[in-house]
């Protein structure tokens, strides 16, 4: 085939007016592409601002009904919940993670009461509950114990499922936990609860504001490189995804987002399964800092970065900018 060239082909013809740009757009962002992460704090009537995440707050459970209705009215299909566990309830064995009346469980109920039409995704990992800030139980050498942690994660996922979580999302990166959670859900009759595996989760410098939000930054001893992936590795992500799918993950996630778009694209191409990206807290903070410094227009930065995920092949994106983006999209 002879490929046409200039002047027979003028690419600018397709860019000459809004109608033709709209007609030729290969990808489109829609509110249903978004998952909105919400932070929860103890207390009543509380909104706590998070200085490293300007514009994002922790909400007490009684204020979540409003957030749930806001998500529904904006057309956002799902919210993701993260607790800031009171310091006195954190311990070495993360027992609070299994308390059926903990912040997360109360939050699930509040959201399901207020807006049963939207989905609730819960994080399965122990870091909001441990006194040392790691995602699992730690041995004498400070190493996170895999199989012992995995057994607790199964219990944590079951508590969340029993309370009404629609999707459980293991973010801990223990080996074998997806299979163990899937087996537990089957055994206990929660066969409709989906698993979104944080399959390719990197040991990233972009999680700082999140750790402030859930109160684990000051507690964390060492780093998470013994279980989260090395940012140097791309092929390893495909092995992680293959394993999680084989163990029963319904959908997979790549995290962080923008710096790992190559991984998002490779996962989608290789497996063709629902593939989500997490535009993490440090990415949100970067956009906010750029906008505040006058380096770019916030709304345009937000919509462009979210569209980039779609172009890379993402099925959807977890983003703290979800409500802003949904509002901008509905305004056209
Ligand atoms: C914890 C968890 C983290 C995030 C989601 N779940 C942080 C971490 O692994 O330390 C990060 C999300 C973000 O930065 O927005 N298991």
Please indicate whether residue 201 is annotated as part of the active site.
yes
Residues 6+ apart with CB under 8 A from 186: none
Would you say 26 is a known binding-site residue? Answer: no
For residue 274, whether the previous peptide bond is cis, meaning omega lies within 30 degrees of 0, is: no
| DSSP conformation letters of 162-230 | HHT-SEEEE-S--TTHHHHHHHHHHHTT-TT-EEEEEEEEB--GGGHHHHHHTT-TTT--S-STTTSBP
CA atoms of 28 and 310, how far apart (whole Å)? 7
Nearest atom of ligand 1 to the alpha carbon of 209: 14
The domains of the chain are located at 28-331
- β-pair type (47-49, 57-60): antiparallel
The residue whose CA has the least distance to atom 16 of ligand 1 is: 171
pLDDT score, position 332: 78
Length of the chain as a residue count: 332
pLDDT score, position 3: 83
Reported ipTM: the value is: 0.97
Q: Which residue is catalytic, options 67, 112, 224, 255?
A: 255
Q: Per-residue pLDDT tens, the chain, 332 aa: give them.
A: 678 899 999 999 999 999 999 999 999 999 999 999 999 999 999 999 999 999 999 999 999 999 999 999 999 999 999 999 999 999 999 999 999 999 999 999 999 999 999 999 999 999 999 999 999 999 999 999 999 999 999 999 999 999 999 999 999 999 999 999 999 999 999 999 999 999 999 999 999 999 999 999 999 989 999 999 999 999 999 999 999 999 999 999 999 999 999 999 999 999 999 999 999 999 999 999 999 999 999 999 999 999 999 999 999 999 999 999 999 999 97
Nearest atom of ligand 1 to the alpha carbon of 133: 10
**Ligand 1 centroid – CA 242 distance (Å):** 22
Nearest atom of ligand 1 to the alpha carbon of 123: 6
CA atoms of 242 and 185, how far apart (whole Å)? 20
| CATH superfamily assigned to domain 28-331 | Aldolase class I (3.20.20.70)
Longest dimension (CA), the chain: 72
The gap from C-alpha 164 to its chain's centroid, in whole angstroms, comes to: 18
Residues 6+ apart with CB under 8 A from 234: 262, 263, 266
Tell me what percent of the chain is helix, strand and coil, each rounded to the nearest 5: 45, 20, 35
Q: Report the Cα–Cα distance between both ends of the chain, in Å, rounded.
A: 40
The residue whose CA has the least distance to atom 8 of ligand 1 is: 207
For residue 142, whether the previous peptide bond is cis, meaning omega lies within 30 degrees of 0, is: no
pLDDT score, position 116: 98
**Ligand 1 centroid – CA 145 distance (Å):** 19
Please indicate whether residue 112 is annotated as part of the active site.
no
Which helix (H) or strand (E) segment is 322 a member of?
Answer: helix 322-331
Question: Ligand 1 pocket by C-beta < 6 Å: which residues?
Answer: 123, 125, 127, 135, 171-172, 207, 210-211, 224, 280-281
CA atoms of 78 and 37, how far apart (whole Å)? 9
């Amino acid at each position: 085939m002879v490929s046409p060239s200039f002047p027979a082909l003028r690419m600018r013809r397709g860019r000459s007016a809004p109608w033709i740009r709209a007609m030729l757009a290969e990808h489109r962002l829609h509110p249903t592409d978004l998952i909105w992460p919400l932070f929860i704090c103890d207390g009543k009537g509380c909104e706590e601002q998070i200085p490293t995440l300007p514009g994002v707050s922790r909400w007490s459970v009684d204020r979540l009904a409003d957030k749930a209705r806001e998500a529904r009215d904006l057309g956002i299909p799902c919210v993701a919940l993260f607790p800031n566990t009171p310091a006195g309830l954190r311990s070495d064995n993360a027992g609070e993670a299994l308390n059926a009346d903990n912040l997360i469980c109360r939050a699930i109920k509040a959201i399901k009461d207020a807006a049963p039409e939207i989905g609730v995704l819960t994080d399965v990992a122990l870091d909001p509950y441990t006194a040392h800030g790691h995602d699992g139980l730690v041995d004498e050498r400070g190493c996170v114990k895999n199989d012992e942690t995995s057994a607790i994660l199964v219990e944590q996922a079951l508590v969340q499922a029993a309370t009404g979580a629609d999707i459980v999302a293991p973010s801990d990166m223990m080996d074998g936990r997806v299979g163990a959670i899937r087996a537990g859900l089957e055994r206990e009759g929660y066969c409709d609860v989906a698993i979104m595996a944080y399959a390719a989760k990197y040991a990233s410098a972009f999680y700082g504001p999140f750790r402030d939000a859930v109160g684990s930054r000051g507690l964390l001893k060492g780093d998470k490189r013994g279980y989260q992936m090395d940012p140097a590795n791309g092929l390893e992500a495909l092995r992680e995804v293959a394993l999680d799918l084989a163990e029963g993950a319904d959908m997979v996630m790549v995290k962080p987002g923008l710096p790992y778009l190559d991984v998002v694209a490779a996962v989608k191409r290789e497996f063709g399964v629902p593939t989500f990206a997490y535009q993490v807290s440090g990415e949100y903070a970067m956009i906010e800092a750029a906008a505040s410094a006058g380096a770019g227009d916030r709304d345009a930065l937000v919509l462009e970065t979210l569209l980039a995920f779609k172009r890379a092949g993402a099925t959807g994106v977890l983003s703290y900018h979800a409500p802003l983006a949904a509002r901008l999209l509905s305004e056209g």
